[in-house]
Amino acid sequence: MSIHTRKSGFDRVFDIANYTLMSLILLAIIYPLYIVVISSFSDPDSVNTGSVWLFPKGITFEGYHRIFMEGNIWNGYKNTLIYTFLGTLLSVVLTLPGAYALSRSDLMGRNFFMLMIVFTMFFGGGLIPTYLLVKNLGMTNTIWSQIVPGALTAYNMIITRTFFQSSIPKELQESAEIDGSSITRFFLKIVLPLSMPIVAVMVLFNAVAHWNAYFQGLIYLRDERLYPLQLVLREILIVNEAPAESTLGASDDGSMLRIAEIMKYGTIIVSSLPVLVLYPFLQRYFVKGVMIGSIKG
């Protein structure tokens, strides 16, 4: 027999206010993205005059056509896929063992090591020392400049260590030691299979970060053949905007300026589409990552 609790008037008012507020926040998040999507294939004049606010007008795919006419875009996609795969793999391989070691109470000096890691979240060497370090290591203008410098982050290390501390019982470790298991074997055979949620979170966090990265390519790469997708799209946009801005006045000029305008929206969609497609299926891992970090410090 089910028991139905009757809500008070205050509870009903609270629910209405809560749903209304959440709906407004959802609208504020989704609407800008929707505008970018419909503006990317709408008539540029309609976009510039503010006529496109609910439905696309004067549908044209000229912006996308101009973007995909560039042969470099496919090379950019390939480079970004390589950087994302190798960068994510290296980050996960370094983060998981390091975080597990820091989670063990029998690690001598673990508080000191943790302090040094947290210190890097607040203080860094800056751009110039970092560039000089990467240059002296011979990584400038190579794929390694996109993978190695950001391979380990303090935030990922902290939430992974927190997961191990809160999810792997100390008794399990003691039992394995009594059975003669080494620390390495215990980590590989027991800890990792029990830690698939945090592995998925780390893969997701690192993959999204590498996919959206452009600043490291801008600083360390000079060879256009090594450019990630974000830099390729930036170059396409600059090349198409420059002639329009330099010779404003001719009739062709207005046409180029219109195309450059819708290309701005098109580049956003092209660069974000893979993440947008995958995000609904992986969203729970983002939430889980946030919750893991809030369980235990």
Q: What domains sit in the chain, N to C, each tagged with a CATH number?
A: 63-297 (1.10.3720.10)
Q: Residue 251 has what pLDDT?
A: 44
Q: Residue 54 has what pLDDT?
A: 83
Mean pLDDT of the chain: 83
pLDDT above 90 (res 287): no
- What's the whole-model pTM score? 0.79
Q: Residue 91 has what pLDDT?
A: 95
pLDDT digits (tens, 9 = 90+) for 84-126: 999 999 999 999 999 999 998 888 888 899 999 999 888 888 8
- Are 53 and 118 within 8 A, CB to CB? no
Can you tell me the distance from the alpha carbon of 158 to that of 102, in angstroms, rounded to the nearest whole number? 9
Of 12 and 6, the one with more pLDDT? 12
Q: Map 235-282 to HEC letters.
A: HHHHHHHHHHHHCECEHHHHHHHHHHHHHHHHHHHHHHHHHHHHHHHH
Residue 64's nearest CA partner among 263, 279, 224, 212 is: 263
Q: Mean pLDDT over residues 21-28, rounded?
A: 92
Residue 198's nearest CA partner among 67, 83, 99, 269 is: 99
Residue 107's nearest CA partner among 192, 199, 187, 198 is: 187
pLDDT digits (tens, 9 = 90+) for 36-87: 889 888 888 888 787 888 888 888 888 888 888 877 888 888 999 999 999 9
Q: Map 54-105 to HEC letters.
A: CCCCCCCCHHHHHHHHCCHHHHHHHHHHHHHHHHHHHHHHHHHHHHHHHHCC
- Are 96 and 160 within 8 A, CB to CB? yes
Backbone phi, psi, residue 248, to 5°: -65, 125
pLDDT digits (tens, 9 = 90+) for 214-271: 899 999 999 888 999 888 888 877 776 665 555 444 445 566 677 777 788 888 888 8
Q: Residue 297 has what pLDDT?
A: 44
Give Cβ neighbours of residue 67 (< 8 Å, ≥ 6 apart).
73, 233, 236, 263, 266, 267, 270
Q: Which of 82-86, 126-130, 203-207 has the highest mean pLDDT?
A: 82-86
Can you tell me the distance from the alpha carbon of 150 to that of 95, in angstroms, rounded to the nearest whole number? 12
- Other C-beta atoms within 10 Å of 151: how many? 18
Q: Residue 137 has what pLDDT?
A: 92
CA angle 212, 217, 219 (to 5 degrees): 130
Written as one letter, the residue type at 245 is E
Backbone CA torsion sign across 89, 92, 95, 100: negative
CA angle 35, 40, 43 (to 5 degrees): 100
- In Å, what is the CA distance from 104 to each residue of 73, 187, 198, 248? 46, 11, 17, 65
- Please give the structure tokens belonging to residue 226: 């090594």
Residue 270's nearest CA partner among 87, 130, 73, 25 is: 73
